[in-house]
Amino acid sequence: MGVSLRIGVVGAAGWLGGAIANSILDAGIVSSENLSLSYRSAKPERFPGAFWTRDNQELAARSDVVIMSVRPQDWDVVSIDAKQKLLISVMAGIRISALRQRHKTERVVRALPNAAAEVLLSYTPWIASKAVEECDRDIVRAIFGACGIQDEVKSERDIDYLTGFSGTGPAFPSMLASAMMEHAVGHGLSVDTARRAVIALLMGTGRLLEKRQECPNDIVRAFVDYRGVTAAAIEEMRAAGFKDAVSRGLSVAFKKSESMGDSP
C-alpha cells in the first residue's frame, strides 16, 4: 500500500475525524496531497498540504476511500454519491444496508474506533459488506491499525454491542478516575497529587494487563486472596453493587446502539 492511495475524511474538523486523519498521515498510509478533508463551519488550521473543502461530493470525487466521520444525527443531510468507492463509516448505529442505499456503493465497512485514536490507542472493531474484497480489508486494517488495535468482527450485532463497550473509549475509566480523585481530594490531597496518582494507576494497570495477558479477574482474585487493604476495598465495592452497575450500564448502552440503527 503506497501513498498514492487517495483518502477523504468527511467531518475531519471533529475530534475523531481529525484523529484518524492525523494517524494515517503519520503512518504514511496517505500523503498530504492525496488527503481530502471536509468541514462544516470554520476551516481548521491543521494538516497543511491536504485539500480542505465544505463540499462533501467534491471530497468523494477526489478519493478512492471515503471515511464518514459525522455525528449520526447529522448523517441525514450528508448525501454523498460514493459509487465505486470504498466507504468506511465510523458512525454509531448506522447499518451497512442504510449506508449502501444512501451512498450508492456496495463496498461498505462499518467501524467503531474511539477517542483514544488521538493517542494511537483506540480499539476498533469493524465489519465489511459482502462486496468488500481482501485488498479493501488490507486498507481498513492499515487505517485502524494506525489508530491502535483493530479487529474484524462477525456481525453488526457485535458492532452494536462494542459501541457501548469499547466505543466509549476513555469515558468509563474516566468515570472511575473522577470518583477516585474526588474521594482523594475530600481526604485532603491536592488536586494535582490526586490526578497524578490516578493517571499513573490507570496507565500502570493497562500496561500490566497487556504484559501479563491474564484475565482481569485473576488479578482481582490475587488481591482478594492477599486479604489486605485492597481486598477490603474490593469487597465493599462488590457489596455496593459495582459489578451490577457496570452490567446495567453496558446493557443500556447496547440497547441504545441498536435503537439508533432502527431510527428512520
Segments forming the whole domain that contains residue 217: 171-262
CA 156 → CA 39, 95, 111, 165, distances in Å?
Answer: 28, 8, 10, 14
Shared domain for 90 and 115, answered yes or no, is yes
159, part of any domain: no
Q: What is the mean pLDDT of the chain?
A: 94
Q: What is the pLDDT of residues 106-149, one digit of tens each?
A: 999 999 999 999 999 999 999 999 999 999 999 999 999 999 99
Residue 264 has pLDDT above 80, yes or no: no
Answer yes or no: do 28 and 100 share one domain: yes
Compute the distance between CA of residue 177 and CA of residue 92 in angstroms, rounded to an integer: 25
CA-only gyration radius of the chain, Å: 21
Residue 11 lies in a domain: yes
Cell of 63: 478519493
CATH of the domain at 183: 1.10.3730.10
Q: Is position 211 within any domain? A: yes
Same domain, 109 and 14: yes
pLDDT score for 241 = 97
Are 111 and 195 members of one domain? no
Q: Per residue in 50-102, pLDDT tens?
A: 999 999 999 999 999 999 999 999 998 998 999 999 999 999 999 999 999 99
Q: 2 lies in a domain?
A: no
Instruction: Assess whether 34 and 133 both reside in one domain.
Output: yes
The number of domains in the chain is 2
Per the CB < 8 A criterion, the answer to whether 27 and 146 are in contact is yes
Could you write out the three-class secondary structure of the chain?
A: CCCCCCEEEECCCCHHHHHHHHHHHHCCCCCHHHEEEECCCCCCCCCCCCEEECCHHHHHHCCCEEEECCCHHHHHHCCCCCCCCEEEECCCCCCHHHHHHHHCCCCEEEECCCHHHHHCCEEEEEEECCCCCHHHHHHHHHHHHCCEEEEECCCHHHHHHHHCCCCCCCHHHHHHHHHHHHHHHHCCCCHHHHHHHHHHHHHHHHHHHHHHCCCHHHHHHHHHHHCCHHHHHHHHHHHCCHHHHHHHHHHHHHHHHHHHHHCC
Res. 212 pLDDT band, cuts 50 70 90: confident
Question: For residues 255 and 233, what is the distance between their CA atoms, to the nearest angstrom?
Answer: 31
Contact 156, 124 (CB under 8 A): no
pLDDT above 60 for 3: no
Q: Taking a C-beta distance cutoff of 8 angstroms, is the pair 194, 181 a contact?
A: yes
The verdict on residue 162 lying in a domain is: no
If pLDDT is split at 50, 70 and 90, which confidence band does 263 have? Answer: low
Asked if 180 and 124 sit in the same domain, the reply is no
- Whether 1 has a pLDDT exceeding 70, the answer reads no
Does one domain contain both 101 and 209?
Answer: no
pLDDT above 80 (res 2): no
Q: Is residue 202 part of a domain?
A: yes
Q: Are residues 141 and 13 in the same domain?
A: yes
38 is a domain residue: yes
